């Protein structure tokens, strides 16, 4: 699992102890997480290519952003959980 359900920092602070740094973090906002955008997560560049129906409806209703899926060149790998 790459992420859990929590706020995602744009530039995460990696310290040895909690509270070690006084620098504040900037977090991704919903408008940053739109289909087609690239998100940098723990050293990996990830492109958002599709969202589920609930997220699609929420973005359209709350933010007025329509999110259409981006077709992939290769088929999505079959991942077993």
**Residue closest to 30 by CA, chosen among 45, 13, 8, 4:** 8
Half-sphere exposure of 17 toward its Cβ, with a 13 Å CA cutoff?
2
pTM for the model stands at 0.71
**Residue closest to 51 by CA, chosen among 39, 64, 69, 65:** 69
Q: What pLDDT digit, counting tens, does each position of 43-73 carry?
A: 889 899 999 999 999 999 999 999 999 988 8
Q: Tokens standing for 8?
A: 């995602």
Q: Which position has the token pair 């602070």? A: 13
Contact yes or no for 37/55 (Cβ under 8 A): no
């Amino acid at each position: 699992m790459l992420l859990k359900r929590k706020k995602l920092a744009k530039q995460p602070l990696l310290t040895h102890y909690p509270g070690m740094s006084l620098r504040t973090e900037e977090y991704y906002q919903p408008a940053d997480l739109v289909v087609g955008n690239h998100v940098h997560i723990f050293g990996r560049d990830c492109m958002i290519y599709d969202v589920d129906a609930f997220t699609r409806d929420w973005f359209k209703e709350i933010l007025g952003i329509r999110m259409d899926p981006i077709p992939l060149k290769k088929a999505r790998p079959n991942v077993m959980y």
